[in-house]
Amino acid sequence: MANVAVVGSQWGDEGKGKLVDWLSERADVVVRFQGGHNAGHTLVIDGNVYKLSLLPSGVVRGGKMSIIGNGVVIDPWALKKEISTLRAQGVVIDKESLKIAENATIILPLHGELDALREDATAAVKIGTTRRGIGPAYEDKIARRAIRVSDLGNEALLKDKIATLLMHHNALRKGLGADPIDGDKLLTELLEIAPEVLEFSDIVWRRLDEARKARKLVLFEGAQGAMLDNDHGTYPFVTSSNTLAGQAAVGSGVGPGAVNYVLGITKAYTTRVGEGPFPTELLDEVGQGLGERGREFGVVTGRKRRCGWFDAVMVRQAVKTGGISGIALTKLDVLDGMDELKVCVGYRLGDQTLDYYPSNMIDQAKVEPIYETLEGWKDSTFGARSWDDLPATAVKYIRRVEELIEAPIALVSTSPEREDTILVRDPFSD
């Protein structure tokens, strides 16, 4: 049996939540390794809808250990709120079932404010962030001035760290025309919220080593998607963490060999929230139709997602850069009833033809998709549970996607319900 990492292969919102939940039934441990409460994972179990942002999806299933790894940025107030919402829905969350890495970075209210100040500044490049303070918190981490989970348990250390942090932030705020932060007030607020986080604080790398020794099955749960990766995505229109499966190891404290299978969750078309290039975007009624049928609204911010045709060049790049072993194709049913479907198989850049997505932001915005047109299907694929339930043209579409992206299809998801899944090959035993 293999440890599996589940990652997004486009711009996020590929439907990772359902697949993680589907796989987590057999996993012993579910680990988040990057991002924070910018993620939005919706799980539908027996008709009950659970919305998760920061907590690993395994938390809604009893008998699993859920881990928030060191690579995650944690807003303690958001954590408290999410836990109490889930508890109100009957989910049991205690220090046995949830472990938070003591070396994970804390998101402070000033990070969220800075995120919003920058997004609202007219001169700046608008990223269209979730305004959750994710980027500013990661900046402080890399600059070595961040407050980490274990700091919350030491008042004297916390006081010193706040003073160092505010030397930087208050200067920055002055430049942006914002009031300075009062260090004593921040200290009081942090000491007040600290127990909510410290209750779950643990030596996560050790728990994962124990799991390895006991041959427990670990599921690494990625957030966002490959094209939002800070190195390999559409920089600067990306998130501030590495979203590829390579981050699963560093972001939780295991070796690179701990991930045996990388499952890339891939939507049968493409969506994006926020600003940035999107070569196959459809600004017409076809795009609008995809958005309506696919209910493409962000879980976290409620923003309307931009929609477009499937981009095989981009997903192939995600397969290569992220070491994707196989993909789970999601939301196939949203394409039902269309006469024809287009798939991007290359880009035109001036008089050049590209078989990859360029790294420069000017070129990324300029490329024009080269499409291949495939026949659509009239019958419904909604809720299909086997290949035999799919129209022949839908199978043809899937097979062509598989060929173009150079990765095999492991699963096809045909509705938000977890049982509406076609298993082609089992990631855990591949």
Interaction site with ligand IMP (CB under 6 A): 11-13, 38-40, 127-130, 132, 134-135, 223-224, 228, 237, 239-240, 273-274
DSSP string computed for 101-158: ETTPEEPPHHHHHHHHHHHH-TTSPP----SSSHHHHHHHHHTT---BGGGGG-HHHH
Report CA-CA distances (Å) from 353 to 279, 313, 350, 364. 14, 12, 8, 13
Residue 13 is a catalytic residue? yes
- Minimum CB distance to ligand IMP smaller for 34 or for 325: 34
Residue in 328, 326, 405 with CA at minimum distance from that of residue 2: 326
Q: How far is the CB of 225 from ligand IMP (least distance, A)?
A: 7
Exactly one of 13, 21, 75, 420 is catalytic; which is it? 13
Exactly one of 21, 37, 41, 151 is catalytic; which is it? 41
- Minimum CB distance to ligand IMP smaller for 139 or for 375: 139
Q: How far is the CB of 270 from ligand IMP (least distance, A)?
A: 12
The single residue listed with the structure tokens 């299933």 is 61
Q: How far is the CB of 303 from ligand IMP (least distance, A)?
A: 7
- Minimum CB distance to ligand IMP smaller for 7 or for 254: 7
Residue in 69, 4, 75 with CA at minimum distance from that of residue 219: 4
Residue burial 254-266, b: 16+ Cβ < 10 Å; e: rest: beeebbebbbbbb
Residue 231 is a catalytic residue? no
Q: How many CB atoms lie within 10 A of CB 391?
A: 17
* Assigned token pair, 277: 């290039």
Q: 142 — alpha (psi -120 to 50), left (phi > 0) or beta?
A: alpha
**AA letter at 108:** L
Residue whose Cβ sits closest to ligand IMP: 274
Catalytic residue IDs: 13, 41
